[in-house]
Structure 1
Amino acid sequence: MKKALLTIFALAFVAGVAGPSFADASRDYISIVGSSTVYPFATVVAERFGKSTKFKTPKIESTGSGGGHKLFGAGVGVQHPDITNSSRRIKKSEFEKATKNGIRIVEVKIGYDGIVVANSKQAAPFKLTRRDLFLALAKTVPSTDNIAGNTQPNPYKTWKDVNPSLPDVKIEVLGPPPTSGTRDAFVELVMEAGAEEFGWIKAMAKTDKKAYKALCHTVREDGAYIEAGENDNLIVQKLEANPDALGIFGFSFLDQNTDKIQGSFIDLTFRLFFRGI
């Protein structure tokens, strides 16, 4: 069975097919797994594929980018998916595992999507900076004594604690789990950029990359950040039920629910983050 890896770099969307031979006689459909951010786009493509070809409509599962790579790279055969969608590039370890298991990887880059920070339309839109988001969501933050190099467990309980210009509202952000490519993109595009507002952290990127990533990429686990699984529709529903909460997910879910939720202003310029391929 020929297999293909379809990749979206943080924020791109993808859809496609694996090749001319998708399965043997024991499975007569294409099996696709991967990113929840890509899922809405992939389902549309799958439906059109099923209607316009002699093949059955592909089966698509939203497993998250990391979960998709794990399933895809486990081996060749009808018990394994033919295609995986990803909102980040495949990691070296995932590539090596797949290759070792006899998979010839074909990478297809398709398009772009965005990451949004959003909240319910029942509340005022947030105006945040990436520095605000880093301080609100990082597990460890620069110490309040303002001495370069000193850190402390995140003490901030409300958005006002982070920035006096923000609402006196409890920090509650629903977002993707560590298996999600959208989460990988968020910590790289937002958390890192926010952390680098502190000069000594920016310098750390060159002197101690491991410590730098640990500080910038590790999200707090005290309840302020809530992992909502690989189901962005669930985040939208929870935002509608809780006007004080914020959510992190793909732009398509904001676009589909503009009657219920609104994007936040980030750095007073854009409401979403983009990353080119």
Structure 2
Amino acid sequence: MNSRIFKENYKDQEERKKAFGNIRDDGRYIEVGINENIIIQKLKSNKNALGIFGFSFLMRNQDKIQGSTIAGIEPTYENISSGKYILARPLYLYIKKEHLDTVDGLREFIKEIIDSISIEDGYLSRLGLIPLSSEDIKKASAKVYDIT
């Protein structure tokens, strides 16, 4: 269901939550948390199973699992970073300006995240986060350094 149809059919936010806010409890969905071994076991034991996890998990386990092609697009680094792979999503950090002067190290933390995600071989990239584009780095940096 696309977002326009979804919003037309479920105009009331509480009605939306009620209709789509619950996780299946009929055994077809199994919450396994972050235990990678359980995810891999479930996927290997059922060829029709689908696991939802991050790109870094896929990269670390390429010998055991494969990513799903969606709308003809494979979950590759290039397709995820360009936005072509529609299941990929950005990671957002929300910071309250009033906390900048009251939470020790918050400014430094924000700058570290921006600096480390802007480098293709940075440690956050090695953990599976895909670096921001040059344009997005400029936008994020402008916001971060504007609030400091």
Q: Which has the higher helix share?
A: 2
Higher RCO by CA contacts (8 Å cutoff, separation 6 or greater): 1
| TM bucket, shorter chain | 0.3 to 0.5
- The two structures have a TM-score, normalised by structure 2, of 0.45
User: Which of 1 and 2 has greater Rg?
Assistant: 1
The structure where strand makes up a greater share of residues is 1
